[in-house]
Amino acid sequence: MTEQRQWTFPLPEQKVDFVFMAVDVIKHTDMLKEARDESNTAFRSVDVALSDLPDHISECIEWYHPGLRWDWAGDGGIYAFPVTYDRRDTLNVYEYVIRCAETIVNRLDEFNVRHQRTTRPVKLRIAFDAGDAVYRKDQAFCRGLALNIAAKLKVADDENSIAITSNLYREFRAIPSLKNCFVPITAGESPDARNLCTFTATSPNGVSR
């Protein structure tokens, strides 16, 4: 377990660098509809499981790095991990966030068993990008390009997949345990005109192998 560093939201108008992790619950609406059509008991069971999911993810994150949950909207959420201007520390954060994603994916079976979801399990997509964000007091939320890209990077069709932008892929080339663990799956242009070829983990259940 890594040393914990406590932190909170930035001050109003303060610009801070983060790695952003977006978590998407696959077929969230379908799960609720099917359960509602089945029975009130089934619906309550699914509702409880989905309500518990953010805490389960936070537990997985806290084991490795003090990431903070920015937002959760039922069908998914955004988590942020602070980075510094120290190159070595930043590379460590990159490795930690992928370990977090691995742990989230690997512990989904445990989560589904606990909530009796083994026949119709909760499945996720996880996506990352890195960049700065500014806390807007008038909006009570942080805004930033990387945050938006991570949230919209739900392009991988694979269940329990982990995807990153080329922005992060270039950084991961300097990390021996990660540099060969992602392959390109889509290409396009982001609003800031940087290459946004998306990379997905070659083995979501074991990125570092």
**pLDDT per position as a tens digit, 136-147:** 665 555 666 666
State the pTM of this model: 0.79
Q: How confident is the model at residue 189, as a pLDDT? A: 45
Please name the CATH architecture into which domain 15-164 falls.
2-Layer Sandwich (3.30)
Q: Helix, strand or coil for residue 129?
A: strand
Q: How confident is the model at residue 112, as a pLDDT? A: 94
Which three-class secondary structure string do you get for 150-169? HHHCCCCCCCCEEEEEHHHH
Contact 116, 2 (CB under 8 A): no
Residue 34 backbone phi and psi in degrees, to 5: -60, -40
Domain range annotation of the chain: 15-164
What CA–CA distance (Å, rounded) separates 136 from 187?
A: 31
Cα atoms in the 13 Å half-sphere on the side-chain side of 20: 26
For residue 4 the two structure tokens come to: 């914990």
Residue 187 backbone phi and psi in degrees, to 5: -140, 155
> What mean pLDDT is predicted for residues 178-207?
56
> What mean pLDDT is predicted for residues 166-175?
84
- pLDDT tens, position by position, 38-63: 999 989 999 999 999 999 998 888 76
- pLDDT tens, position by position, 94-116: 888 888 888 999 999 999 999 99
Residue 95 backbone phi and psi in degrees, to 5: -70, -40
The least confident of 28-32, 122-126, 191-195 is 191-195
